[in-house]
Amino acid sequence: MSNHLADPAAAGTAVFPARPEWLTLSAALADEVPVIADRDDLLVTIAPGAGGGAAACFYPGPALIEVDGNHLKVDPTTVDPANIGDRTRYAATWGALTHECGHAKHTAWDPPEDAPAGVVEAAMLLEEARMEAAQIRRRPDDRYWLRACVKELVADDLHLFADPATAPQMTPADAARSAALLLARADGGVLTEVEVAPLARVIENVLGPDTLGKLRAVWQAALNTADDDGETMLDLGRQWCGILATDPNQTTPPGTSGTPNGTGSPTPGTKSPMAEAIATVLDNVTANVARQQPPEDPAARAAAAQEREKAAHKEADLAARKTFRPGGPRDGRTALAGTRPPTQEERTAARVLARALDSAGARERSAIKTTSVVPPGRLRMRGALAADAQRAAGALPTAEPFTRITRAATPTPPLRLGIACDVSGTMRWARDHVASAAWILATAARHTRVPADTAAVIFGNHVRPLTHPGRTPAVVTEFKSDDNWEDIPTAIAALDGALGLSSPGAARLLVIVSDGQFRDQPRAEGQKRLDRLRVAGCAVLWLTTNKSDTPLDGARVHLLTDPATTAQAIGRAATAALRAAH
């Protein structure tokens, strides 16, 4: 059996009486393992000397995990395993605990008592990588912790640091054992091919490419074996012994069997090239883990996301108040150019769009089927006969033979639509068309039966409102287009705060009219805000006239062949968003 997977009949190591802090920590660890192992019957003991000589050990019979407290390396009174952030202080110990939880969950088979000892040893050797691969498929974040403890686990299994005489030698048996413990972990996804490459070269030098290829096929088959398929694992163990031509009835302790192969056989008292390569791999993995970001606490991650969302909402509300408040500042650039009365064509376009929104917002009445004991409704003979039979039997009739269908109106989803137009010097073509479209959309929102709200802003050095949410403009507001900056982040935030574009419960559409020629800073911030709206379910339409323009990522781009069709393009997108809303 493995150093840290005990015989099923074993009862654990006697380590008591332990100091109170170890008892407290044992109870705290026991509270955490049900989630990791998907079992609620496990006991945990951590104390100096526990683990049966390994960093940790799982005893299947009593459902006990033992962890050697000597590997903890921190004061046990300061350990808080419920805090994921605290686990990095003792990552190797937590990884060993996770490894044993993996055995408790995924090693769901026991070798028969009459199974050949060598076959069982080979099967349990293959079980190490198979189990860890299954664990990270079920819990991907556990990969970090399994990597953190691989040095201690593999060093124990290979007797790497105990004595140069028992450390792995340049023999086929030791090469195969090292391959099963490290190369198989790379194929299973715990380690990487780059990390194990130095050892792979030494192993291939000892075994030869043909033998190594056959062994790889065996451990890859093990990686795809079910948790409870002990018969297949034992068969793979027999194949392992056959490939290496070892006695299936005898175990093979590391460093004690076989004739050294390859070059670089060590002098007495020194490590072999195999042991040196293993140590290099383990050191590299340890260094990589130290540079890696540990898993985050899901609760902390959710709380941080909630805080970011609150901050974004607060920022959007502030931008909306600043942009749309009455008598807001009009100094600086981003200038409005006065107002004009709407034309007859614009009035007609607003009424046409309102009717289109009415049609898009119309929903089929929902049919509700009900049954009853008495009319009204359609009589179902099966129900009537069932009621008669119940009466004849002296039972209280429960059958409801009458069926009726009532139809209820389905509420129309509200529409929230925001328009943001770039007023940098390259966007002069959009001035008249966007001013007209903003008035048409706002007026259509008043005339439609759909509960609709719109707002429009221009953005350059500043953000200015063209139309306000909840108001129907009497005149068309025109603007200039001669700024040299594009404050698109504030424009998106202002429309979000004014219309609730990031809040569910409505059909939401953000329209951006721009060539996308932004500086790096507003582009990056604008992309973040646009991504947030898209994740929240808000559709984003980007209008431009040139294929060489550079819209933000994720927006649906519409190329205007005729800028005069701006209002129609926005109207079609609005009706499409309304139809898609549930």
DSSP string, 514-540: ------HHHHHHHHHHHHHHHHTT-EE
| Cα–Cα distance, 33 to 43 (Å, whole number) | 9
- Statement to judge: residues 122 and 242 lie in one domain: yes
Residue 459 lies in a domain: yes
- Statement to judge: residues 329 and 478 lie in one domain: yes
Strand order in the sheet with 366-372: 366-372, 402-408, 378-379
| Mean pLDDT for the chain overall | 88
Torsion over CA: 368, 373, 378, 380 (sign): positive
Residue 349 identity: A
Instruction: Please report, for residues 267, 477, 484, the alpha-carbon distance to residue 571 in angstroms, rounded to integers and kept in the order given.
Output: 84, 19, 30
Which ranges in 245-272 belong to alpha helices (H)?
none
Q: What pLDDT does 218 receive?
A: 96
Residue 489 lies in a domain: yes
Domain that residue 380 falls in: 366-408
Predicted confidence (pLDDT) at residue 533 exceeds the cutoff of 90: yes
Strand partners of residue 542:
512, 557
Q: Where are the beta strands (DSSP E) in 29-131?
A: 43-47, 56-59, 64-68
pLDDT tens digits, one per residue of 399-440: 888 898 888 777 778 999 999 999 988 898 888 999 999 999
- Statement to judge: residues 129 and 221 lie in one domain: yes
Burial class of residue 10, CB neighbours in 10 A (0-12, 13-18, 19+):
middle
Q: Directed axis angle between helix 142-158 and helix 117-138, to 10°?
A: 160
Residue 67 identity: V
- Statement to judge: residues 261 and 397 lie in one domain: no
Residue 450 lies in a domain: yes
pLDDT tens digits, one per residue of 370-406: 888 888 888 888 888 888 898 899 898 888 888 988 8
Query: Which tops the pLDDT comparison, 257 or 172?
Result: 172
Residue 300 identity: A
Q: What pLDDT does 582 receive?
A: 63
pLDDT tens digits, one per residue of 199-245: 999 999 999 999 999 999 999 999 999 999 999 999 999 999 999 99
- Statement to judge: residues 132 and 248 lie in one domain: yes
Residue 144 lies in a domain: no
How many helices, marked H, and strands, marked E, lie in the chain? 17, 14
Q: What pLDDT does 337 receive?
A: 81
| Cα–Cα distance, 486 to 496 (Å, whole number) | 18
| Cα–Cα distance, 179 to 169 (Å, whole number) | 13
Q: Directed axis angle between helix 488-499 and helix 520-535, to 10°?
A: 30
> Other CB atoms closer than 10 Å to residue 158's CB: what's the count?
24
- Statement to judge: residues 452 and 561 lie in one domain: yes
Residue 304 lies in a domain: no
* Domain final residue pick, 378, 408, 438: 408
Strand partners of residue 424:
483
* Domain final residue pick, 379, 408, 437: 408
Count Cα neighbours of 243 within 13 Å in the Cβ-side half-sphere: 25
Cis peptide bond upstream of 17, omega within 30: yes
Q: What pLDDT does 258 receive?
A: 52
Query: What's the DSSP call for residue 424?
Result: B
Q: Residue 328's domain is classified under what CATH number?
A: 3.40.50.410
Residue 12 lies in a domain: yes
Of residues 152, 137, 20, 16, the one with CA closest to residue 73: 152
* Domain final residue pick, 408, 435, 465: 408
Do 400 and 416 form a contact (C-beta atoms < 8 A)?
no
Of residues 89, 101, 26, the one with CA closest to residue 57: 101
- Statement to judge: residues 270 and 344 lie in one domain: no
Query: Which tops the pLDDT comparison, 164 or 535?
Result: 535
Which ranges in 245-380 belong to alpha helices (H)?
273-291, 298-324, 344-361
Q: Directed axis angle between helix 566-580 and helix 344-361, to 10°?
A: 20
Residue 25 lies in a domain: yes
Q: In the structure, what pLDDT confidence band is assigned to residue 308 with cuts at 50, 70 and 90?
A: confident
Q: How far from each other are the two terminal CA atoms of the chain, in whole angstroms?
A: 59
What is the distance, to the nearest Å, from the Cα of residue 168 to the centroid of all Cα atoms in its chain? 40
pLDDT tens digits, one per residue of 157-186: 776 665 666 778 889 999 999 999 999 999
pLDDT tens digits, one per residue of 62-80: 999 999 999 999 999 999 9
Q: In the structure, what pLDDT confidence band is assigned to residue 329 with cuts at 50, 70 and 90?
A: very low
- Statement to judge: residues 317 and 265 lie in one domain: no
With pLDDT > 90 as the criterion, what percentage of the chain qualifies? 58
| Cα–Cα distance, 185 to 199 (Å, whole number) | 13
Query: Which tops the pLDDT comparison, 368 or 23?
Result: 23
- Statement to judge: residues 286 and 175 lie in one domain: yes
Q: In the structure, what pLDDT confidence band is assigned to residue 262 with cuts at 50, 70 and 90?
A: low
Residue tagged 């104390």 (tokens): 47
- Statement to judge: residues 386 and 332 lie in one domain: no
Do 551 and 544 form a contact (C-beta atoms < 8 A)?
yes
Phi, psi of 427 (to 5 degrees): -115, 25
- Statement to judge: residues 315 and 264 lie in one domain: no
Domains: count for the chain: 4
- Statement to judge: residues 283 and 375 lie in one domain: no
Q: In the structure, what pLDDT confidence band is assigned to residue 465 with cuts at 50, 70 and 90?
A: very high
Residue 300 lies in a domain: no
